[in-house]
Amino acid sequence: GDSVTQMEGPVTLSEEAFLTINCTYTATGYPSLFWYVQYPGEGLQLLLKATKADDKGSNKGFEATYRKETTSFHLEKGSVQVSDSAVYFCALRNAGSARQLTFGSGTQLTVLP
Amino acid sequence: NAGVTQTPKFQVLKTGQSMTLQCAQDMNHNSMYWYRQDPGMGLRLIYYSASEGTTDKGEVPNGYNVSRLNKREFSLRLESAAPSQTSVYFCASSEVGEQYFGPGTRLTVT
């Protein structure tokens, strides 16, 4: 079945540091890929997405590129802020799965001032 | 628009008690979902409803039942709660694109 593997956290960075959170996936066919963010005490919000190979999703300074050859969708940001502290989830949706999402285990990011 | 709303926000149950978690969305979405979130395990799908009148099991359906009451509302019932059902429960809805999540219900079963 489909699966998503994320780098384990927690990740602690200083403000303005570069962020990478690794995500790799296993799926049949051509899934869509997503990054969701969960701020403390809240539900998940879509951060960015990519629907086909070589697409780059971007939002709020975050970017991720859909790499079919390495089955990866790593999240990056050039300069993190304290307000980016949250849990980040990588997810995929396969076309044949009734629009269900398969999530990674989440990565806790803490940014220190 | 309120988006996806869930009630209650917090609940403590004793083993064997029953309860229903309520979810409603005002975005006219066809599909609705129930997930549970446990530490280190991401979100796992319990049940989903692709459209009004249909429901299907997800990855972890045992111990739960659902009702798609109408297009807006999708409830999750625990008939006989167990400590293993201690978790945070999220409802979500979608149309053809992203899923929109509610704020969650934190359930503790003692």
Model confidence at B41, pLDDT cuts 50, 70, 90, reads confident
Average pLDDT, chain A: 93
Is pLDDT of A97 > 60?
no
Model confidence at A1, pLDDT cuts 50, 70, 90, reads confident
Looking at residue B79, its pLDDT comes to 94
Model confidence at A8, pLDDT cuts 50, 70, 90, reads confident
CB-count exposure of residue B61 (10 Å: 0-12, 13-18, 19+): middle
Is pLDDT of B97 > 80?
no
Calculate mean pLDDT across residues A49-63: 96
Q: What is the distance in angstroms between the Cα of A18 and the nearest Cα belonging to chain B? A: 24
Distance (Å, whole) CA B65 – CA A56 = 39
Model confidence at B13, pLDDT cuts 50, 70, 90, reads very high
Q: What is the distance in angstroms between the Cα of B48 and the nearest Cα belonging to chain A? A: 8
Looking at residue A7, its pLDDT comes to 85
Whether B98 and A49 lie within 8 Å, measured CB to CB: yes
Q: Which of B43, B48, B90 sits opposite A98 (nearest CB)?
A: B48
Percent share of chain A, pLDDT over 90: 80
State the CB neighbour count (10 A cutoff) for residue A12.
12
